[in-house]
Amino acid sequence: MFIILTYDVGEKRVNRVRKCLKKYLTWTQNSVFEGEITEGKLHKCLADVNKFIERDEDSLYIYMVKNIHNIKKEVIGQQKNYDELFL
Amino acid sequence: MFIILTYDVGEKRVNRVRKCLKKYLTWTQNSVFEGEITEGKLHKCLADVNKFIERDEDSLYIYMVKNIHNIKKEVIGQQKNYDELFL
């Protein structure tokens, strides 16, 4: 399935969270990761990331679409490749 | 249709951009708006927001799903209502 994962994580934890998410998804905007992922890998990804976040402070939204053809993306302005930036 | 709009906008412009987006969508996470919107209203929303952004610096992603039943959302941690915060 295709997922969009958006996050709002405290500064102290954000680098660890990004590093973890990068193993499974593509970093496409400052607070956004996206990509094709199996249910099993998503489960593993969320279990991993759970180790680093504070549930009473941080926030992760995961939007899941089974068929990528059911979602359309439009970009206004920049489409950076955050994966090429330092992490 | 249902849309998720994520943004990465320079500090000087971000308040105006949020204020503009709030007219059309719900602010659900620091860098995320979402909501049901018609194509006509989305067109108007993007025309409005275009006045405030710098296309060579800022970034807006709009993910569109025609049928809300084709997308599933999971929340980890906080689900704040940013609309209740000061803007």
Q: What is the pLDDT of residues B9-63, one digit of tens each?
A: 999 999 999 999 999 999 999 999 999 999 999 999 999 999 999 999 999 999 9
Whether A49 is in a domain gets the answer: yes
Whether A84 is in a domain gets the answer: no
| Mutation target among B7, B25, B74 for the A interface, most CBs of A within 10 A | B74
Q: Do B59 and A75 touch (CB under 8 A)?
A: yes
SS3 of B58, please? coil
B62 token code pair = 């709009």
Whether A63 is in a domain gets the answer: yes
Q: Which residues pair with B3 in a beta bridge?
A: B35, B64
- The number of domains in chain A is 1
Domain limits at B19? Answer: 2-67
Q: Do B50 and A6 touch (CB under 8 A)?
A: no
- Residue type at A65? V
Average pLDDT, chain A: 92
In contact, B3 and B32? CB cutoff 8 Å: no
Whether A33 is in a domain gets the answer: yes
Looking at residue A83, what is its pLDDT?
64
8-state DSSP, B55: T
Residue B8 marked in a binding site: yes
CA geometry: angle A7, B77, A38, nearest 5 deg? 65
SS3 of B38, please? coil
- Strand ranges for chain B from DSSP E: 2-8, 26-29, 32-36, 59-65, 71-77
Whether B20 is in a domain gets the answer: yes
Looking at residue A79, what is its pLDDT?
85
Order the strands of the B2-8 sheet from edge to edge. Answer: A71-77, B59-65, B2-8, B32-36, B26-29
CA distance A17 to chain B (A): 13
A5 token code pair = 């994962």
How many C-beta atoms lie closer than 10 Å to residue B59's C-beta? 21
Residue B78 pLDDT level (bands cut at 50, 70, 90): confident
Element (H, E) at A75: strand A71-77
In contact, A17 and A53? CB cutoff 8 Å: yes
Q: Is the pLDDT of residue A84 over 90?
A: no
CATH number of the domain encompassing residue B30: 3.30.70.240
Whether B41 is in a domain gets the answer: yes
- The ipTM value here is 0.91
